[in-house]
Chain A
């Protein structure tokens, strides 16, 4: 049997958050709720990145203080790659949400509803 250690507990939080979002994306009929779930799923993945790049103890941000030796900085700063990926993912996530919002507004103007069940029942 595999048991999570204390250092892996934040991953459990990410897993639960991602699962709830996946459920909403797949089974909620309201398009706006689906979009919110996609956005939160992006945040769950971003959280995963940040957790993976984190350092316990006296960690410092990835900005080198004046006079600090690069070797020492590399041994105590948090992973900048994780932060970089999150910045990139946030921009892409926002572009995605903008497009989805436009699509939802367009759908509402066309069908008068954003419930997928009702849209499916419409004829003509």
Chain B
């Protein structure tokens, strides 16, 4: 269907589909209504008086990330891993990085400076995500931007000079995922070894399950407990994943 007939069909389709969706959405609550589940998380995330259910993270979204919906985060990270693995599978044959001239000296010097600043901000956003907006995914995205700036300004071939090639990036990505999954099962191993109750992904100690990362590490005041290393693992995983994706998708067919 081309021309005006196609346009009329398109408009009619959008009007009909919008009407169906709007009719479905009318059953939804009006703006301003927060569900009891959301209020539960808000009330408990940093509630000193109810430490059996708290995450010790002032940022409720970060608390949700691991303490309340940890399996979601773990599987989401795995989905991302599989997505990047699929891209790598398509383009793995073109893995050699050729060094070309890149841009001018000024741009290259600036790109190096920007790289350092961007990477620092990525770490800051990740580590301070307990108290401020941000997190592992946001930090990882910023980390990837640092590498992409280098790729654009200095060419892909400069990455091996910084000890980053596709293989290293893959290894770093796997290490990030391994850190997350490893920290997931540490409480289970502890439980089996000590005979006490502990849950996979347990972060803060409970009255009936005394395992908690802050107390386990001897750091009673560690805010958020497990969340910082988890976020760092996520940052490395996402940052390296994006870098691999960008490298592979921008490679020409006969680059190798």
Q: Which A residues have a C-beta under 8 Å from some C-beta of B?
A: 2, 4-5, 7-8, 10-12, 14-16, 18-20, 22-23, 27, 51-57, 61-64, 66, 70-71, 73-75, 77-84, 87-88, 90-92, 94-96, 98-99, 101-103, 105-106, 109
Contact at B28–A80, with CB atoms within 8 Å?
Answer: no
Interfacial chain A residues near B117, Cβ < 8 Å: none
Interface of A is mostly: helix
Closest to A24 in B: B10
Interfacial chain A residues near B41, Cβ < 8 Å: 80-81
Interfacial chain A residues near B131, Cβ < 8 Å: 63
Q: Pick from B82-90, B118-126, B149-157, B199-207 the stretch touching chain A.
A: B82-90
Contact at B137–A90, with CB atoms within 8 Å?
Answer: yes
B161 at the A interface (CB under 8 A): no
B184 at the A interface (CB under 8 A): no
**Could you give, for residues 32-47 of chain B, a 1 whenever the CB lies within 8 Å of some chain A CB and a 0 otherwise?**
1011011101111111
Q: Which B residues have a C-beta under 8 Å from some C-beta of A?
A: 1, 9-10, 13-15, 17-18, 21-23, 25-26, 28-32, 34-35, 37-39, 41-47, 49, 58-61, 63-65, 69, 72-73, 76-77, 79-80, 82-84, 86-87, 90-91, 131-133, 135, 137, 238, 242, 245, 248-249, 253
A-B contact count (CB 8 A): 166
Known A-B contacts A80-B41, A98-B83; A2 and B23 likewise in contact (beta carbons under 8 Å): yes
Shortest distance from the beta carbon of B22 to any chain A beta carbon, whole Å? 5
Contact at B46–A84, with CB atoms within 8 Å?
Answer: no
**How many angstroms between the C-alpha atoms of A14 and B25 in the bound complex?**
9
Known A-B contacts A11-B28, A102-B86; A91 and B43 likewise in contact (beta carbons under 8 Å): no
Contact at A11–B22, with CB atoms within 8 Å?
Answer: yes
Shortest distance from the beta carbon of A71 to any chain B beta carbon, whole Å? 7
Shortest distance from the beta carbon of B6 to any chain A beta carbon, whole Å? 8
Interfacial chain B residues near A19, Cβ < 8 Å: 13-15, 17-18, 21
Interfacial chain A residues near B91, Cβ < 8 Å: 102
**How many angstroms between the C-alpha atoms of A70 and B82 in the bound complex?**
39
Contact at B35–A79, with CB atoms within 8 Å?
Answer: yes
Shortest distance from the beta carbon of A93 to any chain B beta carbon, whole Å? 10
**How many angstroms between the C-alpha atoms of A63 and B42 in the bound complex?**
9
Closest to A84 in B: B64
Contact at B133–A61, with CB atoms within 8 Å?
Answer: yes
